[in-house]
Structures are given as structure tokens and as C-alpha cells.
Amino acid sequence: MNSIADVVYFIVVRIFVSFSAKPADNEHPYGHHQFESIAALVVGAFVLTSGLAIFWQSANSAFDMLTTATDTPPVQQFTLWVAVFTILLKIVLMLHAKKISHTTRNIALSAIAKDHRNDIIASTGAALGILFSLTGFPWVDPIAGAIVAILVTKAGIDILRESAADLMDAVPGKELASAIGAELKSIDAVRQVEAVKAHRFGPYYVVNVTVGVDGHISVFQGDKIADQVEETLLKNIDMLRHVYVHYHPVGAGECE
């Protein structure tokens, strides 16, 4: 069931990521990168559904073992080797997806890497259940399945929370604001950084910065400072697509 879900959501993610590569247009001046967040939502939904389904199946299996006297069909040994091979394969896929997601900062690929990690956990639980079944302890299988289901469900919720925060335009955090403040310290004309607001569009950011400048300078000089702030941030901070600068006078009251 989990493998079928992997195939379905991979096709969906592939389609949405191709949409995210479309260039900006009049209706979407910042591009279509939010499709990546939508793709991550799809992954999270499938992971969450898989976790709940595994838990339900494990509970039913445990109930049948406790209440039914029917014989359980013997587990074939080759299924253990299938589970072990799946674990090894998923480790390779997880490392590959994680490497690409770190390079591209693609939230959909990050979600896929997390799902590969879930598959490793699920396959490990399956391998343990099969191993104990082969050694005469079939009741371990539903317990292992239930534990795996809880971990998978939590991972699905985490993916949904992260992708939803991206779509809801959550503030990127103090790390980006600190990096911007550190860069602007090199500009002597900037007396203070009053506010930093950022919007995320896929892996990219659009930043609005409010700075304080000498209140006695001309508008032309203030505009030059704003241009310098924009150029500095675009040059030195990764993944910035646009920077908008608003400047306030500092010390203007002394002129009155």
C-alpha cells in the first residue's frame, strides 16, 4: 500500500515541479515556485494516509490473532530478503534526494527525502515482523507495524506543517534577518535596520527592508543608499530574488 502511494505521489510531484519551472508572467510576477509547496502537501497527505492505513491494518491483525483461532499462513523466507533489499535501496534514494534538496532548496524534494526515510523505517519494521514470524513469534508483526505507523504518521504531519507554513507565507525566521543585518553593517550610511520582512516563493525570497539614514541628506542621496542596500543583499545572500528598500530619516528633528 505504501509503495503504491509512492508511485502515485511521485507522478504528481513530477507534474507540479515541472509547473514550478514556468517563468514569471503578468499574473505571477514572482514565478510559479509555490507549486513546489503544493507538491510537498501532496507528499505529506500520502505519507499521513499511509501511516493511518498501516496502523489500522496492524490493529486488525492484532485483533484477529487475539480473537480468532484460525491458522495464519506461513511467512515465506524470500519476503525477508525483499524487505532487506528495500531498506538498502531506500537508503541510497534518501541520500540522493537529500543531497539534491540541499543544493536546490526544493521543498518537494525535501519531502521526498523524508518519505524515503519513512520507507526505511517501515521496511525495517516489516523485516523485524517477518523475522519474528519465521522464528515462531507472529504476534510481533502487528506490534512492529503499529510502531512504524505512529512514526510515519508523525512524519506526514511534519511535512504538512512545513509545506503549509510555506504556503501561508510564514516569516523565514531570525537567521535570515540576522544575515541581512550583518551585511548592512558594512554600509556606513545605514544608521540602523528598523525592520526586515520576507516572503518565500519556493526556494527564493523577496525581502522588504526598512533602514534608518541621516535625516539631513537629500532624497537623491537616500535613493543611492537604497540602491547600495539592494545590491549588497542580492550579491551576498543566497536565494534572494528581489529586495525592496524603504528608508526613514534618523535625526531629522535636529533640523527643525
Domains of the chain: 2-167 (1.20.1510.10), 174-255 (3.30.70.1350)
> In terms of pLDDT, which residue wins out, 173 or 12?
12
69 Cβ contact partners less than 8 Å away, ≥ 6 residues apart: none
Distance CA 121, CA 119 (A): 5
Residue 106 contacts residue 202 (beta carbons within 8 Å): yes
66 grid coordinates? 487475539
Distance CA 125, CA 41 (A): 25
Distance CA 24, CA 178 (A): 29
- Over residues 110-150, the pLDDT tens digits come to 878 888 887 888 888 888 888 888 887 877 778 888 888 88
Predicted confidence at residue 256, as pLDDT, reads 47
Distance CA 27, CA 9 (A): 28
Residue 170 in 3-state DSSP?
coil
Distance CA 29, CA 124 (A): 46
Comparing CA positions, the residue from 116, 115, 145 lying closest to residue 42 is 115
Residue 59: phi and psi, rounded to 5, are -65, -40
pLDDT at position 172 over 60: no
Residue 98 contacts residue 120 (beta carbons within 8 Å): no
Place of cell 532624497: 219
The model carries a pTM of: 0.58
Predicted confidence at residue 242, as pLDDT, reads 81
For range 87-103, the mean pLDDT: 90
Tell me whether strands 204-214 and 240-250 are parallel, antiparallel or unpaired.
parallel
Angle between helices 2-20 and 107-134 (to 10 degrees): 170
- Over residues 9-68, the pLDDT tens digits come to 778 778 877 777 777 666 666 666 677 777 777 778 887 888 888 888 888 877 777 777
